[in-house]
Amino acid sequence: MYRVLVAGALPQDALARLSAAAQVVQLLQPDEQSLCREVASCDGLVVRTHVRVSREVLAAGRRLRVVGVAGVGTDNVDTGAAAERGIAVLNTAAASSDAVAEFTVRQILRLLRPVEALSRQYAAGAFHELRDQPCGRELRELTVGIVGMGRIGSRVGRICAAGYGAHVLYNDIVEVGPFAFPAEPVDKPTIWSRCDIISLHVPLTPLTYRMVNADVLRCFRAGALLINTARGAVVDTSALVEALQEGRLGGAALDVTDPEPLPPDHPLFSCPNCLITPHIAARTAGALKRMFAIVDQVIEKLRETN
């Protein structure tokens, strides 16, 4: 019988399916030391995206044949070390595409039309004052720039262009498209300088690490909005804080940060035009169910390599 290590919590139905096909060992609070100890006798490893699977962990897995990540990215796994050892790395790339795309557009709309703040001001007695001034902007009047036009980015582009009539520009390192909605491929400098809204949908790699840095932020047009639902380290946090505090950006919406989680006294929490959520864009009931289907993929792969 296969032996599979589960690092972290999984719902009972996913655990039951895994237990029907394998002997399950579960670590609810995994660290590198405990992972190295337990993985030594396991054929498979299932992790969430916050659990780091280092070269040392992979080396300790003498029987290890497959690592399954319940999530979109695999940047928490040393994929180079896995390839050297012939260990397959699986993930659920499409599980949360719709959830993250919908959340991204919702955050754009929250920045354009600050409903929560308007509601608080109304409750404080500002009814007439609020009606006497513009309360936000329309997405159809703006240019949206999407960096990374894959599963999630293309969905964001479709909603913005076909749903709201926004002008969509995009950049990707591979040729993508054509799309069933109007979208114009451009280089990154054009995205930075021409877009009112810039939404990031790239994996974390050496090429994208701190891709949005101080120099890039200085190229943004005044009042631009930055949306990051990708990975926190794609943005230089210190440079972003400075741009927000100086008023060069109109606002930011961050579902991911660097570091993660942020300490309670982090200056980003003091920026009134910054919306911060705790990495939950993908956490709908449907998306989580699809992510946890990684257990089925792991069992299938183990059977293939038997």
What's the pLDDT tens digit per position in 190-221?
A: 999 999 999 999 999 999 999 999 999 999 99
- The per-residue pLDDT for 239 is 98
Read off the tokens for 174: 């591979």
Q: What is the mean pLDDT of residues 286-298?
A: 96
**pLDDT per residue as tens digits for the range 132-184:** 999 999 999 999 999 999 999 999 999 999 999 999 999 999 999 899 999 99
Dist CA 128 CA 124 (whole Å): 11
Q: What is the mean pLDDT of residues 272-280?
A: 96
Of 25, 66, 79, 70, nearest to 204 by C-alpha is 79
Residue 6: is its pLDDT beyond 80? Answer: yes
- The per-residue pLDDT for 306 is 74
Give DSSP secondary structure letters for 195-248.
-SEEEE-----TTTTT-B-HHHHHHSPTTEEEEE-S-GGGB-HHHHHHHHHTT-
Dist CA 105 CA 286 (whole Å): 18
**pLDDT per residue as tens digits for the range 8-64:** 999 999 999 999 999 999 999 999 999 999 999 999 999 998 899 999 999 999 999
Read off the tokens for 47: 């992790």
- The per-residue pLDDT for 124 is 97
Residue of 116, 138, 141, 260 marked active site? 260
279 catalytic residue (yes or no): yes
Residue ranges of domains in the chain: 2-95+286-304, 97-276
- The per-residue pLDDT for 285 is 96
- The per-residue pLDDT for 217 is 98
Inter-residue contact 298 to 275 (CB < 8 Å):
no
Of 84, 12, 76, 13, nearest to 45 by C-alpha is 76
What are the φ/ψ torsions at residue 26 (nearest 5 degrees)?
A: -120, 130
How would you write 252-274 as a 3-class SS string? EEECCCCCCCCCCCCHHHHCCCE
- The per-residue pLDDT for 177 is 87
CATH class of 97-276: alpha beta
pTM of the model as a whole: 0.90
Q: b or e along 226-240 (b: 16 or more beta carbons within 10 Å of the residue's beta carbon)? A: bbbbbbbbbbbbebb
128 catalytic residue (yes or no): no
Residue of 48, 65, 155, 231 marked active site? 231
**pLDDT per residue as tens digits for the range 77-95:** 999 999 999 999 999 999 9
For residue 230, list its beta bridge partners. Answer: none
Same fold across 2-95+286-304 and 97-276: yes
Q: What is the mean pLDDT of residues 238-256?
A: 97
CATH class of 2-95+286-304: alpha beta
Q: What is the mean pLDDT of residues 247-265?
A: 97
155 catalytic residue (yes or no): no
Write the single-letter amino acid at 11: P
